[in-house]
Structure 1
Amino acid sequence: MTTSAPSRPLSSIRRRQAGLSLVELMVAIAIGLFLLAGITVLISQQSSARAELNKSSRQIESGRYAFTLLQDEIEHAGYYGLYGSALTVPTALPNPCATDKDSLDKALAMPLQGYDAPAAVPAPLSACLSDSDHVPGTDILVTRHLYTGDALATVATAVAGQAYVQTTPSSKITGLGPDPTPATPSVYTLVQKNGTTPASLWRYVQSIYFISPCNKFAAGATTCTAGADNGKPVPTLKRLEMTSAGGVPAFVMTPLVDGIQDMQLDYGVDGIGAGSPAAPFITAPVLADWPNVMAVQVSLLARNPEVSAGYSDKKAYSMGIAGSAGPFSDGYKRHVYTGTVRLINPSSRRE
């Protein structure tokens, strides 16, 4: 005869399984805190990596966009509408700040005009570009061409104070705005082959590209100051463009791409009239060289908009013939964008 073990009351079993001991609770909390710390570190690292990726993406976009802007402008330099005859080279470098029609007409012979890394903005350019708006040691580029879009339908639609050039294959006339008064004979007297239809009228485009120490001026300021960009000035590629304001010629400054810290330009000069640049390139063409510049090597140094924690820039960046820039020993990451751009219009006329 077998005897079964006495069974425990159900209430006793339930009493022993209810709740956790203090040790078990502390272990559970420790494990939870460990997991929470790991998740926090992971999220922080992902956030930091994403922030760095955004900075790098913005820097890449800025560098490429700045190069594309300069490339387009250099390729358009020397476009004169229908006009295809030779231009007389002036006896002195044109004044980029001049807005009278005679000065503008003579300056057309210089599709490009540059200033090689000036420590201070030289005269007469200083009349429209102040030292405080230019980063010392960076190049300045002046480009000239006619508007590459459609010509004006009629002279009457011309804007007062804006410079225009009327062109035929053999002649050109530079003027400011429309006819002065109905009683005054038109300054734009050129006609097409039929002898009656006025020749095309194109807007004169003159731009000055430079590196500025800031993007947006401080409130109430008209130049770059320490208070620009909310107290953290960001170097920026800017443009001074000749336009019209209040019926008179004027220059308007436009920020183009922020984070562009340096610009160095090397010029390829055609010495034999073949339309191709000779080697080696040079940094400072003389007066007689400028009409013969057929290509430009552009070097742009772009930096991230913000510092990267724990990073120190120890690199040196090749900026063409000018040599290297850096190391800067700061927290900004940088990259150089370099390429050679052909002056399509002047070079194609010689081929």
Structure 2
Amino acid sequence: MTTPHPMKKQSGLSLVELMVALAISLVVVAAAIYAYLASREGQRSIERLSASRETGSFVLQTIGRELMNAGYYPANVLPIPPDATQQGMYDSYYPLQGATRVATDWENTAAGWPPTAYQTGVYGCDGGQFNSNDGTCPSAEDTKPDTLVVNYFTSDASVAPGTSKDCTGSFVGNDPSNAQRKLNKGTPPAAVDSALPPQLPLFVSNRYTLRDTKMFVDNNDLITKSLACSGNGQSYKGVIGVYQPLVAGVEDLQFTYGVYTAYDPTAAYNSLAPTRFYTATEVNGLTALNVRGHSLAGWQRVTAVRVCLLTRTLGGSTRIADSSGSTSTYKDCAGTEKNQPAGYQMARYEQVFGVRNALRLSY
């Protein structure tokens, strides 16, 4: 007789065990999510810091390249054949002293041209935006960014993109002061052939400052400042003096100018190295100095420009919390140490650029 097998007792998780396992799983998942979010936020913070550093480098490089052109006039320009007064000499900036003015000369003192701001390779405004319409600066305000004006003449052999374009991409031949100099067709030139280069180098003037810009970052509106420029090629658009933004995230922009204040005509060598760096207002107040028989004002003796700017990160949570009892700081362009603001980070960039800024009256 076969003995039946006894029924095995069913086994499984009790409700309590199931709840404990579920709670543990939720804790593990929550920890994983937190780690992921923290990692992602950390990566975004690094990316924003990197972008801010790139902004600082870009602004310095942009202004530095522009300052390399300050006061440039190409010396390889041939005389204009139909103009007898130009034979045997270069048509320089300015014309030879004592020479009778001709229509192609850029300078026209009888008409009050050019304004002081365009008579040197470098000019500037303290705490305000340069007015391109009348060539003047507003009253200085310490809380506002400065404006830098850089002037030179283009050596481009065509009207293609290059130095014949201002910082906004507009052809500088549109500036009324270049009306005669850009003519290149006929004898004497009386019209413009787009396939030919201008008959004479064209005047270029670019102005750099900051302007408020509204951005949309992380699903939020953000008001920041951008490096902005205006150029003399904008004339034909009727938007003279409008500063177009180039790159956002620049909080402050300050310029000081290295000027030499002594010159010894009996010395065998004068270095013309900057005595010190002055603000634009201080440069305007400097007395003239006789150099090689020429009376040179302060702006004509600028041989270096110091550029200082502050960048700020864009978007929230771009700064790691400070250590207990220690607050991160930064120095502004005045050298004042300040606490880093909550949620974003400020950084200071500074560089000194040597400038040509000669604009001699003759070669």
Deviates more, 1:48-57 or 1:76-85: 76-85
What letter matches 1:338 in structure 2? E
Deviates more, 1:270-279 or 1:26-35: 270-279
SS at match of 2:66: helix
**Displacement of 1:307:** 3.2
Structure 2 partner of 1:234: 224
Structure 1 partner of 2:144: 137
What letter matches 2:278 in structure 1? I
Cα pair 1:75 1:345 within 8 Å, conserved: no
1:260 aligns with 2:250: yes
Structure 2 partner of 1:161: 174
CA distance in 2, matches of 1:69, 1:35: 50
Cα pair 1:160 1:244 within 8 Å, conserved: no
Deviations 1:159-214 (A, max 9, x none): 8633576xxxxxxxx836537x97x95479xxxxxxxx998533321011111122
SS at match of 1:59: helix
Task: Give the unaligned 5+ runs of structure 1.
Answer: 1-6, 89-99, 166-173, 189-196, 219-228
- Choose from 278, 283, 290 the match for 2:299: 290
Cα pair 2:210 2:225 within 8 Å, conserved: yes
Cα pair 2:93 2:359 within 8 Å, conserved: no
Structure 1 partner of 2:344: 332
Cα pair 1:235 1:259 within 8 Å, conserved: yes
Structure 2 partner of 1:269: 259
1:16 aligns with 2:16: no
1:280 aligns with 2:271: no
What letter matches 1:175 in structure 2? Q
Cα pair 1:308 1:331 within 8 Å, conserved: yes
Structure 1 partner of 2:99: none
Q: TM-score, normalised on structure 2?
A: 0.64
Report matched runs for 1:85-234 at 5 Å: 87=94, 103-104=113-114, 109-118=119-128, 121=129, 136-151=143-158, 161-162=174-175, 175=180, 177-178=182-183, 185-186=188-189, 200-214=199-213, 232-234=222-224
**Displacement of 1:329:** 4.0
Cα pair 2:181 2:200 within 8 Å, conserved: no
CA distance in 2, matches of 1:289, 1:187: 38
Instruction: Identify if the C-alpha distance between structure 1 residues 348 and 250 changes in structure 2 by more than 3 Å, giving closer, same or farther.
Output: closer
SS at match of 1:54: helix
**Displacement of 1:32:** 0.5
**Displacement of 1:316:** 4.1
Instruction: Identify if the C-alpha distance between structure 1 residues 152 and 234 changes in structure 2 by more than 3 Å, giving closer, same or farther.
Output: closer
CA RMSD, Structure 1 to Structure 2 (Å):
4.4
What letter matches 2:150 in structure 1? T
CA distance in 2, matches of 1:102, 1:10: 119
What letter matches 1:138 in structure 2? P
Q: TM-score, normalised on structure 1?
A: 0.66
- Choose from 315, 319, 329 the match for 1:315: 329
Deviations 1:325-351 (A, max 9, x none): 7447443211011111111464999xx
Instruction: Identify if the C-alpha distance between structure 1 residues 213 and 50 changes in structure 2 by more than 3 Å, giving closer, same or farther.
Output: same
**Displacement of 1:305:** 1.3
1:51 aligns with 2:44: yes
Structure 2 partner of 1:39: 32
- Choose from 305, 322, 325 the match for 2:314: 305
- Choose from 49, 59, 79 the match for 1:66: 59
SS at match of 1:265: strand
Cα pair 2:175 2:233 within 8 Å, conserved: yes
Instruction: Identify if the C-alpha distance between structure 1 residues 116 and 251 changes in structure 2 by more than 3 Å, giving closer, same or farther.
Output: closer
Deviates more, 1:271-280 or 1:295-304: 271-280
What letter matches 1:73 in structure 2? E
What letter matches 1:77 in structure 2? A
CA distance in 2, matches of 1:44, 1:198: 58
What letter matches 1:333 in structure 2? Q
Task: Give the unaligned 5+ runs of structure 2.
Answer: 78-89, 96-109, 161-170, 264-268, 287-296
* Count of residues in Structure 1 that have an aligned counterpart in Structure 2: 289
Cα pair 1:208 1:240 within 8 Å, conserved: yes
Cα pair 2:234 2:240 within 8 Å, conserved: yes
**Percent of residue pairs identical:** 24
What letter matches 1:16 in structure 2? Q
What letter matches 1:30 in structure 2? A
CA distance in 1, matches of 2:271, 2:360: 7
Instruction: Identify if the C-alpha distance between structure 1 residues 38 and 86 changes in structure 2 by more than 3 Å, giving closer, same or farther.
Output: same
Deviates more, 1:104-113 or 1:44-53: 104-113
